[in-house]
Amino acid sequence: MAEYYLVVSALLIASAFSASQWVKFGLPFLLLSALCFVTLSPVFLIFVALYIYVTWSLSAHQSKPVNPWITRLFQLMWFVLSAGLIIHKLPGYQGLLIAEDIALKAGSLPASFYLNVDKALFSWSALCFVPLIKRSFPSNTRVRWWMPVLLVPCGIGAVVLIAVSTGIVTRQVAVPAWFPLLALSNLINTCVAEELLFRGLLFKFVTNKLPAKLSSTARTLLILTITSAGFGLAHFAGGTSYMIVATVAGLLYGAVYMLTGRIVFAVLTHWLLNITHMLVLTYPMTDV
């Protein structure tokens, strides 16, 4: 069953790349309908159908909006439904429990782990508005190929050192239980969704709202600061230290995105940092 959840999540994201409207908007509904026979409620499926329709309507009228009031209403609906998906709170939704109140590594805080498909549905929707692989941030002729290559390991090292210095994690080199499952789920359901949200949609929103008279340097710093702060605040459940570490990580992901112009590289950087966390540190946090 766990493998099926991962396959459904991967197919949800893959369907967003289809040129066929029937596949792009029909397959997500069919995939999640099948899960209603397992863990999902028919109530959740109603919200899925509404979310797919709202996504279709907004994406179909991006270049030629209909009545502005209708557009704003649909945008509000999309925002509320997306928030529900991201925090796993839409009515009728239930993730697949993998482990309950268990420490995956020595010295780690006991936690419960679920496989989810709702964040993958958000990723599918976000891909209707921002690209994952194609360039979506203006290129800079001064950027050289070695800059992001050097930034990624140095940035990950810096985030790890800051995290250890705050005490939220400690060094614990070991392969945690269910590592392959957790690693794949983290990539498909966490990294892709969060990068499409913060480095994709939020980057785009902040960029469009900043005054045109700002210098290129000022715009870059503001965009990076605002989106990274938003990423940090989204991790408020972990406490102040966790938010600080997440903000620094957000700066790294944002810088990689700006240097490469492609969200996929921010996704891979995010995943590499999370894999480092799983293998080298206590996970998800140190048990105090």
Q: Over the stretch 228-245, which tens digit does the pLDDT of each residue have?
A: 999 999 999 999 999 999
SS3 assignment for the chain: CHHHHHHHHHHHHHHCCCCCHHHHHHHHHHHHHHHCCCCCCHHHHHHHHHHHHHHHHHHHCCCCCCCHHHHHHHHHHHHHHHHHHHCCCCCCCCCEEEEEEECCCCCECCEEEEECCHHHHHHHHHCCCCCCCCCCCCCCCCCCCHHHHHHHHHHHHHHHHHHHHHCCCCECCCCCCCHHHHHHHHHHHHHHHHHHHHHHHHHHHHHHHCCCCCCHHHHHHHHHHHHHHHHHHCCHHHCHHHHHHHHHHHHHHHHHHHHHCCHHHHHHHHHHHHHHHHHHECCCCECC
The per-residue pLDDT for 62 is 77
The per-residue pLDDT for 65 is 67
Report, as an integer, the average pLDDT of 32-51. 91
* 242 or 140: which leads in pLDDT: 242
The per-residue pLDDT for 137 is 87
Q: What are phi and psi of 100, to 5 degrees?
A: -115, 125
The per-residue pLDDT for 112 is 93
58: pLDDT strictly greater than 80: yes
CA 246 to each of CA 150, 183, 190, 232, 240: distance values in angstroms, whole numbers, following the listed order: 20, 19, 14, 5, 10
pTM: 0.95
The per-residue pLDDT for 37 is 79
Lowest mean pLDDT among 124-128, 160-164, 202-206, 284-288: 284-288
pLDDT bin (cut points 50, 70, 90) of residue 183 is very high
Report, as an integer, the average pLDDT of 26-55. 93
Q: Over the stretch 81-134, which tens digit does the pLDDT of each residue have?
A: 999 999 999 999 999 999 899 999 999 999 999 999 999 999 999 999 999 999
Lowest mean pLDDT among 22-36, 39-53, 137-151, 223-237: 137-151
The per-residue pLDDT for 114 is 92
How many CA atoms within 13 Å lie on the side-chain side of 183? Answer: 14
